[in-house]
Structure 1
Amino acid sequence: MSTVNKVSLSIAAAVVLLLLGLATTPAHAQTPSVTASVDRTDLTLTDVLTLILRIEGVTNVHPLPQAPVISGLILVGSERRSYQAFVQGALSAHFEFIFKYQPLRTGSIDIDPINVILDNTVHITDPITVNVTGGAGATQSSPGPPPQPTSLVGQDFFAESEVDDDTPYIGQQITYTLRFYSANPFARPIYDAPDFAGFWNPGRSSEEESLANVAGRSYTVTEANTVLFPTLAGDLTIEPTNVTVRGGLLGSSVTQYPTRQINLSVRPLPPGEPDAFTGAVGIYSIAAEVDSNTVDIGNPVTLTVTVTGEGNMESLPAPEWPEIPGWRAFDNDAPYKMSIIDGKVQGSREFERVLIPSASGSHEFPPIEYSYFDPSDEEYVTLTSRSFSVEVLPDPGSPEADPLATSEETEDAEAQDIRYIKPVPDSIARPTSPLTASSVFWLLWLTPLAGVLAVTTLVMYKRRPDPVSSSRDLSAASQAALAKLAAIEPGSSTADAASMALHGYLDVRLERPTSGMSATEIADSLGQIGASAATSERLVELMGRIAEMRFSSREVEGTEEVARDVQAIVRSLDEELSA
């Protein structure tokens, strides 16, 4: 064998051994963990607190954690980051949910433990305490603007800027106005706007042109208005806006006309915020409604709260939802509409909560409270919606859903208590031999009884369980469920199709309709006929996940896995209940 062939064989053998080693390397499963941390524990009213929620040991997170409502802090921004890598042949990932808050008051502020649900297990973070003082934070320094005329006194070009309120509250709308005066109708100015550090800019500006006569000259005035919402308290600066005008032959010369720097003093919200305050600033009204006052058990009711008014609709916080015992809750996305009317940001935002009952009967939904700070009146306002009554109907197959049966039994019992009074004969006949002493009487009496016994025996024989037929029914149910699941294509209807297939199989297994039963009731019934506790727990978790996918409009990860999970549950139940 040549040296080249030997080297080739050695390399091939090494590659095979390496691949086998990688294939047999065990994947180290990570244990899910959730931690919360802040970038600082001591801050001032002008600082921004960053809260980081870190999740490790899972490849996806659903439902997504929401920004916690913290008394004494207002949410001013959020973002999400994910990191994934392969470590020793296994996928390793962690996620970071970053929430930024502005202090509303001084003193000690507690951040309560945050609950995060991962794989049907609740993970709780440690509480955090931060201390807020009234001192001013570090202010930003910037070079002053280039020398410029302080007013329009006959020059060809001039730029100026202003704000309509230089002492706003945090979260209050202000309007930044830029005006550029041009005596040359052919000039095409270019605007270089500042980055508005410390402000939230929804990117909605209006621009209009007009003519003005100043110092005996005619000018074209271009006015641009930009809506801003301060996100930091304290001294803030809006840097100059530079307006560039090209001149000379073919635009060979460039001249810049800067505006002045604008200084603002942003006030924090005053103390004394109500319990229902979650950070809204502006002027609002609310309306609440439910889509139905009657619902079958296991079906959803949607509670919608619409907030309308003037303010920052894009970051408007949700209300403080009340806890309703006996109902599971899922939050939908909160769409908003926003426009600028007469220089004010106006619009509405709808907050939806999908509620699923687990018990029948009459239920009361308490009123929804929504608080906001009105900067014009400098006071907190709390709005309250009306309450709602919802009637949850029981499962049609349950005894409580058929009150007529009990009523009919009672009527039969009462009817049996009625006896006619036998009339007294005119004369007393001479006693004869009793009828019961005759053998013919007993023969006639026993004949119908024997017939009834024969018919009953025949009916029971025909209705006896047929193990072959029962096995065929269960096998057909399994095959039908698996066939439906195999035909499912990932999409918006995945959860509905998986739910129908699963309930179709469970109906046959439990010999009764299961669509109106809760997941726990189904698991208990399966346990009574031989299902293991582990499989029952998997079923409860899976049904909860399917319910969230069906009833929540938010994007829920894992829809592609639902069909496979239902198939696995069906096969597990077949193995356990057929043993």
Structure 2
Amino acid sequence: MQYRITYILFLLVSVISYGQVSLTVTPDKTSYSGKDVINLSIVLEVEGNEYSQQTKLRLPDFSKFNLIGTGSVSNGFIDPTTSTYVSQSVTRLALEPKEKGKIKIGSFLITINNKIYKTEPFDIFIKDIEKKASVAENTSKNVYLNMEIEDKEVYQNQPTIAVLKVYSKSMDNFRKVRNIHLPEQENLDVYPVSFAKSEIDPSDNGNMASQILAVFMLFPNESGYVDVPGVSASINSYSHKNKVVSNKVKINVKKLPEGSPECFKNAVGNFNVSVANASTEKAEVKKPINVVVKVSGEGNIKNMELPKIAESPDYEVFAPKITSKVSVGMTGMKGEVLANYVIIPKKAGEIVIKTEQFAFFDPSSKEYVDLGQETLAVNAFSHEQILESRTTVEKVNEYTNTFLETVNTPVLKTTSFKVKEKSKFHWNILFINITILLVLFIAYLLFKTWQKNRRTVKETVPSKPLGSIAETESEIRESLKMDVNDYFSYLENLKDNEDYQKFFQTFDELDLEVRNQYSQSSVEDFRNFLESSKGSAVAEEYRSLTQKVQIEKYAPVKSVEGIDELLKAIVNLYSQISK
């Protein structure tokens, strides 16, 4: 009797200590026919707020079943007798047996507060089962879709190829399948390879014909078991329209090995990194140059994190424009991604432009590869050094270009004669420039002679009263006042016509006109003047705008949106500071 009391006490203590976490599984019945669906209910009940669930519910081996449906619901309540919070989670699984006989279902596992809780395994009995093709069927029972994945065990961010096939007893149904929608899921990146239909196989699955509808590539970005959702399509006929969905496929995504370098982000494959100077002119201090970082190879090149240009006190770097040339094929995703950076040197002399360290994981060798940093040495010159290094012919060409740009007329578009910098000297260009200068000089002399003759024959007109000095200055200032709205309209037309070279030339003319209104010759003096007269906010806006103009002016690729935003900023600022 004493042993029984002791046993009961131990039993009560164990129930009290372990009753706060309960994990149970219940089938709807224990014996099934071949056409029945096995429904399992897994209930997790936790009493108290001090318990923390550390893992998801881990399922047993279901290799003898097809998982055709799943769902879960969670709720919580406060027990009125103990005043403690009770959370309850119910998960339902729908299974389809693949074979008959006695089948054991293993334990369900979950970890809470560093302790593993599990259910007891149990047996179910399956009667005679009908053989079925492993494809998902639609409501009309005539067309089936099946998704096959080549490699069901891959690393995180490693690609695997999926093939979608259609099955039907009637080949006429194949032409009715349309509107294929590939799976969409947060932990999967899906890229189509081909939607070209293959030749029809008349006896691929017994008495049914088959045809390949689509081939696509999957990049799982999470480790663990990942369920790939079914692919959907529509079957159109004259009388009705049905939707058909393929089967789901579970793949095992292996976690990347430990010991990755600190610079490793998410690049999986085989890659190369290079950096190059895309500017043809000499690098000058405080003038932008174009630097291109190119990543080429095979892997998750479209969704991986690219190596950036490291910051340095020797230069200023701006956000890049990304362009890609990537092709998706049966062997993987190959190509190159270009990051076009605008960099402004801050000092004269040799500066070293470095990229961030870059590493990737190679699935073929199962090792991490650290490429380190890529460097680019650029020799930057000051403005004085650039002027000193020019030859006499280059100086003559520059003066000629400046003159032609300044004296442009609607009759003769002299800017079309602008001399382009070339490595080889041409005497013909020099003679043409000298001839144009002589013609313009003679035209100028003739114009002055005509003006002088006109003044001699002009009738004497009574002079207007001079008035006071203040009135005279006001009249002169009013006559010289320019209308910035004309510049705004002209800039708008140039933007619409995508004549960006003339756009930036017109902006320089507008800026020079506004500075002349305040008798400020240089941009730096004008910015100091704005800070003292208009405030530091307007001066900073002027500095930021001129810098944006320089960046867009020398950018390799000009976007319509960027020029449009730049025009809005020009109109807003110069409307404020113009007299």
TM-score (norm 1): 0.51
Q: Which residue, 70, 75, 84 being the options, matches 1:141?
A: 70
SS in 2 for 1:162: strand
Matched, 1:502 2:528: no
**Match among 280, 286, 293 for residue 298 of structure 1:** 286
CA distance 1:478–1:289, shift in 2 (3 Å): farther
Counterpart Cα distance in 2 of 1:381 and 1:477 = 68
Q: CA deviation at 1:246?
A: 8.6
2:21 corresponds to? none
Is the CA contact (8 Å cut-off) linking 2:227 and 2:250 kept in structure 1? yes
C-alpha deviations, 1:394-427, integer Å up to 9, x for none?
Answer: 235x9x96699xxxxxxxxxxxxxxxxxxxxxxx
Give the distance between the partners of 1:478 and 1:253, measured in 2 at CA.
71
In the alignment, does 2:544 pair up with 1:544?
Answer: no
1:187 match: secondary structure: helix
Letter in 1 for 2:159: Q
Write the mapping of 1:427-506 to structure 2, written as runs, cut at 5 A.
479=482, 483-485=486-488, 487-489=490-492, 491=495, 493=500, 497-503=506-512, 505-506=514-515
Partner of 1:184: 170
- Asked whether the equivalents of residues 313 and 337 of structure 1 are also in contact (C-alpha less than 8 Å), the reply is no
- 1:237-248 equivalences under 5 Å are 237-241=227-231
What does 1:118-133 correspond to in 2, within 5 Å? none
Residue 211 (structure 1) aligns with: 201
- Give the drift of 1:145: 8.0
2:29 is aligned to none
**Aligned to 2:569, what secondary structure does the other structure show?**
helix
How far apart in 2 are the matches of 1:251 and 1:203? 31
Please say if residues 145 and 260 of structure 1, whose CA atoms lie closer than 8 Å, have aligned partners that are also in contact.
no
- Alpha carbons 1:167, 1:264 under 8 Å: kept: yes
* Aligned counterpart, 1:70: none
The 8 Å contact of residues 331 and 353 in structure 1, kept in 2 or not, is answered as yes
1:567 to 562, 569, 574: 574
Q: For CA contacts below 8 A with separation 6 or more, give which structure has more relative contact order.
A: 1
User: What letter is aligned with 2:574?
Assistant: Q
Q: Distance in 1 between matches of 2:192 and 2:56?
A: 29
Instruction: Tell me, in whole angstroms, the C-alpha distance in 2 between the residues paired with 1:468 and 1:360.
Output: 51
Q: Measured at CA, do residues 266 and 536 of structure 1 come closer, stay the same or move farther in structure 2, by a change above 3 Å?
A: same
Q: 1:324 aligns with which of 288, 309, 312?
A: 312
Tell me which of 221, 234, 237 is aligned to 2:224.
234
Is 1:169 equivalent to 2:155 in the alignment? yes
What is the distance in 2 between the residues matched to 1:274 and 1:324? 23
Q: Is residue 200 from structure 1 mapped to residue 189 from structure 2 by the alignment?
A: yes
| Cα offsets for 1:358-408 (capped at 9, x unmatched) | 443332223554322223333322335652232333235x9x96699xxxx
Which of 348, 355, 368 matches 1:360? 348
Match of 1:334 among 310, 322, 327: 322
* Structure-2 change in CA distance of 1:560 and 1:184 (3 Å): same
Paired AA for residue 150 in structure 2: D
The 3-state SS of whatever aligns with 1:543 is helix
Equivalents in 2 of 1:550, 1:137: separation in Å? 58
Alignment-derived partner of residue 383 in structure 2: 395
One-letter amino acid matched to 2:147 = S
- Which one-letter code corresponds to 1:563 in the other structure? I
* Alpha-carbon distance in 1 for matches of 2:484, 2:241: 76
* Whole-angstrom distance in 2 between the partners of 1:473 and 1:329: 46
- 1:264, distance to aligned residue in structure 2 (A): 1.8
Q: Deviations over 1:56-108 (max 9, x none)?
A: xxxxxxxxxxxxxxxxxxxxxxxxxxxxxxxxxxxxxxxxxxxxxxxxxxxxx
Q: Deviations over 1:214-248 (max 9, x none)?
A: 6886844335322111133322212445678799x
Q: Summarize the Cα distance change of 1:360–1:151 in structure 2 as closer, same or farther, 3 Å threshold.
A: closer
* 1:274 partner letter: P
Q: Which secondary structure state, in structure 2, belongs to the residue aligned with residue 186 of structure 1?
A: helix
- The amino acid across from 1:167 in the alignment is E
Aligned match for 2:254, one of 255, 267, 271: 267
Distance 1:500 1:133 in 2: 68
**Compared CA separation, residues 565 and 156, structure 1 to 2 (3 A):** closer
**Does the Cα contact within 8 Å between 2:298 and 2:332 map onto a contact in 1?**
yes
How far apart in 1 are the matches of 2:224 and 2:487?
62
Q: Is the 8 A contact 2:165 2:210 kept in 1?
A: no
Other structure's SS at 1:334 match = strand
SS in 2 for 1:558: helix
Q: Is contact 1:238–1:263 with CA below 8 Å preserved after alignment?
A: yes
Query: How big is each residue's C-alpha offset from its partner over 1:503-557, in whole Å with a ceiling of 9 and x where there is no partner?
Result: 564478677565xxxx6x76358779x7864543332233234345445546447
Kindly indicate whether the alpha-carbon contact (under 8 Å) linking 1:173 and 1:228 is maintained by their aligned counterparts in 2: yes
Q: Is the 8 A contact 2:147 2:165 kept in 1?
A: yes
The DSSP-based 3-state class of the residue aligned with 1:200 is strand
Amino acid at match of 1:502: D
SS in 1 for 2:217: strand
Distance change (3 Å), C-alpha of 1:184 and 1:546: same
Specify every segment of 5 or more residues in structure 2 that has no aligned partner in the other structure, as ranges: 1-51, 60-68, 72-92, 97-129, 136-140, 391-469
Q: Decide whether aligned partners of structure 1 residues 318 and 246 sit closer, same or farther in structure 2, where only a CA change above 3 A counts.
A: closer
Contact kept, 8 Å, 1:370 with 1:382, in 2: the verdict is yes
Question: Percent identity between the aligned chains?
Answer: 16
Which sections of structure 1, spanning at least 5 residues, go unmatched?
A: 1-131, 405-466, 575-579
Deviation at 1:336, TM superposition (A): 1.4
Question: What letter matches 1:537 in structure 2?
Answer: E
1:373 aligns with 2:356: no
TM-score (structure 2 length as normaliser): 0.51
Give the whole-Å Cα distance in 1 for the aligned partners of 2:161 and 2:336.
Answer: 20
Given the alignment of the two structures, is residue 278 of structure 1 paired with residue 265 of structure 2, yes or no? yes
Given that residues 187 and 246 in structure 1 are in contact (C-alpha distance below 8 angstroms), is that contact kept between their aligned partners in structure 2?
Answer: no
Quote the Cα distance in structure 2 between the aligned partners of 1:313 and 1:470.
67
Q: Distance in 2 between matches of 1:159 and 1:480?
A: 69
Distance across 2 between alignment mates of 1:402 and 1:246? 76
Q: Is the alpha carbon distance of 1:485 and 1:362 closer, same or farther for their aligned partners in structure 2, counting shifts above 3 Å? A: farther
- Name the aligned partner's letter for residue 226 of structure 1: F
CA distance in 1, matches of 2:270, 2:472: 69
What's the CA shift for 1:487? 2.9
Q: Supply the distance in 1 between the matched residues of 2:94 and 2:182 (Cα, whole angstroms).
A: 14
Instruction: Please state whether the residue corresponding to 1:195 is helix, strand or coil.
Output: coil
Native 8 Å contact 1:280 1:372 kept in 2: yes
Asked if the contact 1:539/1:569 (under 8 Å) is kept, the reply is no
Q: Is the 8 A contact 2:183 2:190 kept in 1?
A: no
| Distance in structure 2 (CA, Å) of the matches to 1:171 and 1:269 | 9
Question: Which letter maps to 1:523?
Answer: R
